Each structure stands twice: as C-alpha cells, then as structure tokens.
C-alpha cells in the first residue's frame, strides 16, 4: 500500500466529529439515535417536573421515585451520547420543550409517564429495525441491554399506574402506595 492510499483510506475512516471510526454509519441511523437522545432528555425533564409536583402535594414516595427516574433517563441520554462519540459522530443537543407541570392527580401524572415510556420503546424499536436493515451490528449490540432495561421500566410504570388506578384517587389508598414507594417496597415488576 502506498503512502497516498494509506492516507486516503485513513480519511475515509474519520467520522463527522473528526474522530477515528472503524466503520461508517448510515445518516438515517445517526439521526434516529440523536432524536432518541433528545427523547431521553425530555423524559428526564418531565420526570423531574413530576417529582416536584409530587413533593408539593406531600407525596414523598412518588417524588423519590420520579427523581430516580429522572436521573436514570439522564444516564440513558449519556449512553447514547457516548455511543455516538464512539462511532465518530457529532452530538448536537436540541432545545427541549418546557416539561408538563400541571396535573389533576397522580394518576394523570402516571398516565402521562406511561405514554412517555411507550414512546421511548417505540423509538428504540425503530432504531433497532433500521440498524438491522443497514446491517449495523454494533448498534444492535449496543441496543440489546437498553431494550431489555426499557421493557422492565415500562412494566414498572404499568404496574404503578395499575395500582394508582385501583386506588381511584382515594387519599388513604394513595398514601399507602406513596409510603411503599418511599420505603422501596414498590415498584415491583413482573419482568425478571
Ligand atoms: Fe430511558
């Protein structure tokens, strides 16, 4: 191999960020990963907002639960950022809409949260399908444990929403669930 051909193949292996990368990525896949990162940041902001709302209504267990969820969504966003960096891509951070702050009940807040979880799952499935279509094995390997965690998370929210629905906005029942959350007894999940 001549010096010129070495340097031209080297240039081909540089990503948009200028960092070396072992294999190029399809732009559509990069876009979906970036959008997903934004979705995780948005989920984090919304859960932080629900943690505040819960604290204002003395629901300390729900507040603790949503604070933890907010932190874990931020960590998920960071994992996508790290992955894009590892693949030589740029990580553009988008402006986030204001989180929802008004809820009529904790049940409404949980319904809203469950919808967020469901949207996150759909987005992960779309990324996975595109990664498979473009034979991007690195991305499917990256997504496998994330999808597993997302299934558990969705199940936790569904379980909590079911319990809160059953409580039917009765303060005494909501307080019991709140205490269980505060003491780490809830949420329980059906997924191992
Ligand atoms: Fe997440």
3-state SS class at 14: strand
Domain of 157: which CATH number? Answer: 1.20.1260.10
How many angstroms is it from 13 CA to the middle of ligand 1?
31
Distance 155 CA to ligand 1 centre (A): 13
Low-confidence residues of the chain, pLDDT below 70? 1-12, 188-192
Q: Say if CB 120 and CB 39 are below 8 A apart.
A: yes
* Entry pTM: 0.88
Is position 14 within any domain? no
The answer to whether residue 8 is domain-embedded is: no
Tell me the CA–centroid distance for residue 70 and ligand 1, in Å: 9
E strand or H helix that includes residue 189: none
Q: What is the predicted pLDDT for the residue at 8?
A: 52
Residue 71, Cβ neighbours under 10 Å: how many? 14
DSSP line for 66-100: HHHHHHHHHHHHHHHHHHHHHTT---PPPPPPPPP
């Amino acid at each position: 191999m001549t010096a010129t051909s070495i340097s031209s193949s080297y240039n081909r292996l540089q990503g948009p960020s200028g960092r070396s990368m072992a294999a190029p990525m399809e732009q559509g896949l990069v876009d979906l990963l970036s959008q997903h990162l934004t979705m995780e940041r948005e989920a984090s902001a919304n859960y932080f907002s629900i943690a505040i709302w819960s604290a204002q209504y003395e629901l300390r267990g729900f507040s603790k639960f949503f604070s933890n969820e907010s932190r874990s969504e931020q960590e998920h966003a960071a994992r996508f950022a790290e992955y894009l960096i590892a693949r030589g891509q740029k990580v553009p951070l988008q402006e986030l809409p204001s989180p929802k702050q008004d809820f009529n009940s904790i049940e409404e807040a949980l319904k809203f949260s469950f919808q967020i979880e469901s949207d996150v799952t759909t987005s992960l499935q779309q990324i996975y399908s595109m990664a498979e279509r473009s034979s991007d094995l690195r991305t499917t390997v990256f997504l496998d444990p994330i999808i597993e965690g997302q299934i558990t998370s969705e199940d936790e929210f569904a379980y909590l929403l079911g319990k809160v629905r059953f409580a039917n906005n009765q303060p005494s029942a909501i307080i019991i669930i709140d205490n269980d959350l505060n003491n780490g007894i809830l949420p329980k999940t059906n997924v191992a």
